[in-house]
Structure 1
């Protein structure tokens, strides 16, 4: 795991260096992009699928004052004001507890839904 994670970090750093002249903030600032463009740029990074890119976009908007038009809508439910769904919403121990509770509730709901779909023995 440590070796594979190191490789992932190196690939990400190489992409930022190559594509953004070593300035990670250029991903969300260069050319004054809108929310959908920032999402596209994030998804182009190694290791950033749709969900991780949306969470990162929400983090930029909620905690780093990103002003790209449409960022909230583009981030989907992660961009919703007052939500506690991801790292984008964690600012203190209380919000961390709310995010953990939200994740536990989502897992329980998924488990219940799966059980409801299972064929009867």
Structure 2
């Protein structure tokens, strides 16, 4: 059962992320080197400025105009220019590979019928801008908060799929849990820095 998302703390933005799977996917794309709640606010900025967050509209938008839209303050990301190209590449992949329906990533039949968690992870990993970690986090977000639970999804998502964890955006359901995830990420960075020293 999908729950209403609490990601940005802004009711209208969170409603868009809850109701539009492509908006949620774009937010995940933008979630790097930028505060989580600002990254996930990007899709609403795109929708408000372009008039749509539909993958066809995003993919077919004039690239220069889309860069302007993405970099106009408040920009969709700290690196608005490069992220504009990534968002359009993601939209193009969804249009070309999934008929513009992002939910096909997790609903299109796999090798033996319903796709497994590993198959959904592989599809996510194949998207522009999605590496292993980002794909695992998004799979965990689908499983934990969107009711998308293909067989073996927790295993495929690795530690991000752990019940009760506070590792990523998949675990953010309130301002308090956002603070907890931030604290975990800060600890991880500090540990990684200490290991290099």
Residue 166 of structure 2 aligns with which residue?
84
CA distance in 1, matches of 2:173, 2:100: 27
- Secondary structure at the aligned position of 2:150 is classed as coil
Residue 21 of structure 1 aligns with which residue?
99
Matched, 1:104 2:182: no
Structure number with larger C-alpha Rg: 1
Measured after TM superposition, the shift of residue 109 of structure 1 is 1.7
Aligned partner (choices 33, 36, 49) of residue 131 of structure 2? 49
- CA spacing shift, 1:111–1:3, aligned 2, 3 Å: closer
Measured after TM superposition, the shift of residue 58 of structure 1 is 0.5
Aligned partner (choices 37, 40, 59) of residue 141 of structure 2? 59
CA distance in 1, matches of 2:118, 2:85: 28
Residue 118 of structure 1 aligns with which residue?
none
Matched, 1:6 2:6: no
Say what the alpha-carbon RMSD is for the aligned residues.
Answer: 0.9
TM-score (norm 1): 0.91
Measured after TM superposition, the shift of residue 13 of structure 1 is 0.3
Which range moved further: 88-97 or 100-109?
100-109
- Secondary structure at the aligned position of 1:75 is classed as helix
Measured after TM superposition, the shift of residue 111 of structure 1 is 2.3
- Alignment: residue pair count: 115
- Secondary structure at the aligned position of 2:128 is classed as coil
Measured after TM superposition, the shift of residue 55 of structure 1 is 0.5
Which range moved further: 69-78 or 101-110?
101-110
Unaligned ranges ≥5, structure 1:
116-121
CA distance in 2, matches of 1:40, 1:91: 26
Which range moved further: 99-108 or 71-80?
99-108
CA distance in 2, matches of 1:2, 1:66: 30
Q: Show structure 1 runs of 4+ deviating over 3 A.
A: none
Measured after TM superposition, the shift of residue 112 of structure 1 is 2.3
